[in-house]
Each structure stands twice: as C-alpha cells, then as structure tokens.
Amino acid sequence: MISLSDAKIAVIGLGYVGLPLAVEFGRKFPTTGFDINQNRIDELLRGFDRTLETDAADLESASQLSFSASAPDLKHCNIYIVTVPTPIDTYRQPDLTPLRRASQMIAEVLDQGDIVIYESTVYPGATEEVCIPIIEQATGLTYNQDFYAGYSPERINPGDKTHRLPNILKVTSGSTPEVATLVDSLYASIITAGTHKASSIRVAEAAKVIENTQRDLNIALMNELSLIFNRLDIDTQEVLEAAGTKWNFLPFRPGLVGGHCISVDPYYLTHKAQEIGYHPEIILAGRRINDDMGAHVVEQVVKLMTRKKIHVVESRVLILGLAFKENCPDLRNTRVVDLINELEDYHAQVDVYDPWVDAAEAKHEYGINLVDQPLAGNYDAVIIAVSHDQFLELGAKGIRAFGKDEHVLYDVKYLLTKDQVDGRL
C-alpha cells in the first residue's frame, strides 16, 4: 500500500471545493489539479480564481501544485481525490453523471495499489455501489485487493473567510482499516482543526448528507413560522429576537434556500430512502416549504404594490442580489431566479443587480442580463434578495433612491429594520 511519504495527489474538479484542497495539498505533496474546463486551467495558471476562494498569493504558495485539463497528465499520481459537482436533475433526483465520468476517467490512469477518495456529496452507499464498479469494470482490477477507496465529505462554505479548509474539522474514512488510517493521516497533514475517522465509507457519506438536511429542516421551520406569523400580522424577526433570548434557542432565520448543498443534499437522502422502501415525510415536507418561498415573497410584494395602487402589470421591479448567499459570486442553484420567474408571470419588468456576480455567467446559466447599475427613481418595487455588504452600505436611503416616488421596498434578508421597509419575511 502507498505510504504518506510517497503520495502523489490528483484533485479532480477545481471548483469551490477542489481548488482550496489542491492548494493545501500542493504546499506539502506533489499535486496535480485537474479540470475539464481548459479556460479554468488557463485562468489558474495566470493566478486568477473566479470563485474568489483563493488568490494569486495562495496559488503561488502551493509550490508543488500544477494544473492540467489532460487526463494522461494524472498517470503518475497514486491518490485521486474527486471533488466534482453532484447536482439534482429536473425531477429532483440525484444526477451522478459528473461522478460517473470522473470515475471512468480515473480508471484510464489508475495503477495497482492506488487510492480513490471521493468528497462529492452522495447518498449512503453511492461510492461503493456506483463509482467503484465503474473502475473495476474499466480496469479489470479488484476492489480492496488491487485498488482502494476513501470518502471524506467536503465542508467548504463559499465566501466564508473565517471557516477555511484547514480550520474545519474533517471527517475521513477508508475501504479497509489500513486505508482509513492512511486517508486520515493524509488529511490530518493539512487540516489544523483535526480529523474524525468514521468507521466506514457509508457512515461518512451519511454524515455529510444529514449535515445540510438538518439545516434545511431548521430553515423550513422558520419559513413555516413566517407564513403563519404573516397571516397573524406579527413581525417574524421580532418574534425570533424575543425567542432568541433563551439560551438554547437556535438562531435560524427564514429565507430563500438555494446553493450547492442545503437545497440539494436532502434529495440524495430521500432518493436512497425511497429506494429501500421508506417514504421520508418530514424531509420532503421541509423541501416543499423551502421551494415555495419564492412564490410567497412575490405574493407579498404584489399585495403591497396593490395596497399602494401600483399597477403590477408592466411595473418595473429591481432585485438586489442574484448569488445564492451574501458576499460570494456563487450562482449554483440560486433561488432568486424563483422571484424573477414569479414576477415575470405577473408581466412585470425585472432588473437584477449584483456586484459580486459575473454577468456572462448569469447570462449563460440563467439567461439573465444583469444591470450594470440601477437607475435612481426608476422602480415600482425593490426587493433585497441577498445581503451583500454593498447593499448594507447603501442603507435604506440609498436603496429607496432606486424607487419611484411611490414604491415598495421588500426585505428578504432582514438587512434593514422593520420601520425602514414596507415588508419582510
């Protein structure tokens, strides 16, 4: 079996998860960062990371890190770490296509004794039921005799400058006790927060998928409370602040639930549950609530406009923010698009402004043309959808300046106080 001193690492997929991982390993081990997007590789070679998770100094500090979009360049590696996306399809079923393709590609360069570690979010059992058979069939090698596997779920929080890869405790696992120890030691060499070695790959997979399922359900509860309190004409934020004075009250807030994890991971778990004959009622109920929040927000905005006798049809609406979270360019599965679609169903004209998001990416991913700068006095309604620092700096006066003399200001993110807005969740 490979020893730690002989490790030559390949990181497959250089997005928000893979690149920081490649940088950390590249400071200590010969590491090749691989991505199928040649433009991404070219940018990284120039020292530019469009995700903003690393900068030129980080890339330069990884003295043993190289980049490639050519699979044969990985042939010299003996530890392959897979960090490709695991999205859901239009039917909200797991889409393992990137994972399958990565496994197939690794099979083309895998040698006897090598280890494949998966970090992508999956349902319990996916690594050994889906990925490993692909490698076995393509190589003719036997699992746990000729090659080995591990699973170490990613915990990257895009845009978070406090919780970085080295100071987030890492769960590890391996397909044999010896491999589990090696995988744990490998990650322990770069993770200052320490590691937790799970007893099996399936346990590690399950741990990952419930981390965000738990958060999703807590937010769903807050969203349902918001729906109830709205009908009771009670301000939800005031209720949560009051309840929050109890020491063990959890500080969750209502909102749009998007992104690469919270709104996706639960469907991986429910898929596996249904596969084994169990219908997960609570998890799916939470998903339904969270998926419907965009429609609820627009309904509230339309009611407020009607009360002010503002015609909704052909009205101009400004949405502040498109990214799925604050101070981050990440557009993956942003639920702000739900607001746009709902408003367009009312035949409103919608402008979207987000100083963090790449305009070309917004156009490519969602067909949305971002405005460079909203015009003052131009809008019948303004919706604060993402709490970027730039919007906080504008304050109520600066944001209201975008509106016409008579307009509605709705705050999804509690960026402003109750008396500064016309409505909020």
| Positions marked catalytic | 261
Residue 279's alpha-carbon distances to 124, 271, 282, in angstroms, are 16, 9, 9
Q: Are 216 and 185 in contact (CB under 8 A)?
A: no
What's the rounded Cα separation, in Å, for the pair 374 and 174?
A: 52
